[in-house]
Structure formats: structure tokens, C-alpha cells
Structure 1
Amino acid sequence: MKLSRNRWMALVIALIVAADWLTKAAVQRRFPSEGDRWTLIDGWLTFTHSINHGMSWGMLSGSAGAWRFPLLIVLTLVGIGATISIVRQSRDRWIHVAGALVLGGAVGNFGDRLLNGGVTDFIYVHFFPYIFNVADIFISIGGVLLVARMLLESRGRDKSTPTHA
């Protein structure tokens, strides 16, 4: 059975959200207290329970105020909307793949923020300064792929050709 583009994307998004939430639940069960850790590869990889109340890389996490949570919700919804718009306007399969990766990660983190008040991070690679999660991995891969593909797509387009139909 061949899946339509929308169904294929929905399946990818659902699988990413499931993987993200299952790993976060496992971390929360295994490491109930924030700061609990387990070293997998000494000096290289540690799982540590951390809650990010801010944005990517902890931006705004130290900010107090009732405005932070609603602002993060709005920014996430704007990002999701922008990604959907980019995907819908393109016929490029790689942009669809990249969009599905970004959307899956964004929805995973969005749901975590709504349910828990913050995003559960747990993967600490010792040479990288931040702790991240499965959703962050997909957002990063999808974002890089999306930007690269959009740049390549714009280079191949004739300058006199309009960008929108």
C-alpha cells in the first residue's frame, strides 16, 4: 500500500513523537529527580535528567515571570505554522522529509512543555555544552536539511521565474 505524502508525513511525525515521549518517560522513571545521572561511556556520554523551562539551549530558562510560558507556547506554534507553510508550498520531497523531522520534534517538545511545564532533556555528550533529547535531534537534523535544501532549490531557480504560483 502506497501512502500519500500527507499520510507518510503524519506517520513520520507520530513515530518521532512516540520515540521522544517514550524516551522521556523512561528517563523520568529511571531518574525521578532532576540532576540524577547515569554515565554510559565515561568521559563521553551521560544520561542526566534535566528540565528546560526555556527555549533551545536554555535561552530564557533563567527568566522569571508569568510571560515566559505563554511566550514559549506562541513561539512554538509560530514555528510549527511556518514549517507547515514551507512544506505545503514545496513539491520537493527532501523539504517534505525535513519538514516532517522538524514537526515531529517540535510536536514532541511542545507536548512535553504543555504536560510538564518544561522540556525533559537527558542526553549529555561531554564535548557538547548542552543537554538535549530525541526531539531536539530530529529538529536539528530536519532544520539543517531544510535550510540546505531551500538554499539549493533557490540556486537552481531562474532569477526571472516567480517563486510563488
Structure 2
Amino acid sequence: MPKLQGQLADLGVGDKRLRLLMPQTFMNDSGRSIRAALDWFGFELHQLLVLVDDMDLPLGRLRLRARGSAGGHNGLKSTIQHLGTQDFARLRIGIGAPGQNPSERKARTVSHVLGSFSRDEEPLLDKVLLEVVDGLERIQRQGLDLAGNHINGLQLAPTNTEA
């Protein structure tokens, strides 16, 4: 949707509807798209859940929080700036770090974040995506606190495909 600077989809979860927005801006300006969507649809902050990738979490980990800082994530920094508050829910989806030492990590960050997952990571990624969808349903049914107890306790492991 051009006025929102993002792609929009509707999803049914039980008897409720979710509106999903994927900003089509640069990550460091994604808050502009989120602010536009909230204004356009008349949503309140308590109706917002921002999903972000997180290199500080290993692939297979999810972290749900009701509020908090950007934690170095440029998309969250932009969202906080455009909303004028840190008081919105976010689900961080672990993608792992691109290297062990700081210089290697810095050099490979962009290619890691924008790149594809490896063939070895794909089975775990499938599990993660299923848990994200399940997490959205749990949030709708149980609320952030109860859903967070489940989501934050997950430690998904790769599927062993060797017999």
C-alpha cells in the first residue's frame, strides 16, 4: 500500500483479524511505515506487535517483550523515534551472529542480515517460522504475558536429518 510505504496482508486468527505490515523502507526508516499504518487504521499502541530479526539471539530463539529499548536494532530505533515511545510489544526472532569476533561480525553484518539462510539452517528456520505463527495465535488467545512465558522458553534445535 503506497501511502503506508509497505506491503499489507490480513490474517484471520480464530475470530480475530490481524493486519500484517512489511515496511518497504530502509530498515533505519521502518518506523515511518509503522506510524503511517497506525494512523491510517486508527490503531492504538497496545494493538501493535513489531517483529524484528535479531543477531544477538541464536537461530531458534524468540524473545517477546511488552516494551523496551532498541537494543542496537536500527528498525526498532526508527520505530521508537516515530512513535515517540518504547512502550510497544516486539517479538525478536533470532538469526544468529555472522562471526565470533567483533571485527568479523562487523564486516559480515550486512551480508548476513540481507543474505539467505544456509541449507543446513533451513529445517530450523521452518520450525522457527511455525513457532512465530503459533506465537501470534497465543498472543491473541492468551495475551502478551502468558504467551511470552511459552515463547521466551523455546529453545528450538535443528532437526537431525541423518539416520
Q: TM-score, normalised by structure 1?
A: 0.26
Q: Which has the higher strand share?
A: 2
User: Which structure has the bigger radius of gyration?
Assistant: 1
Q: Which has the higher helix share?
A: 1
Q: TM-score, normalised by structure 2?
A: 0.26
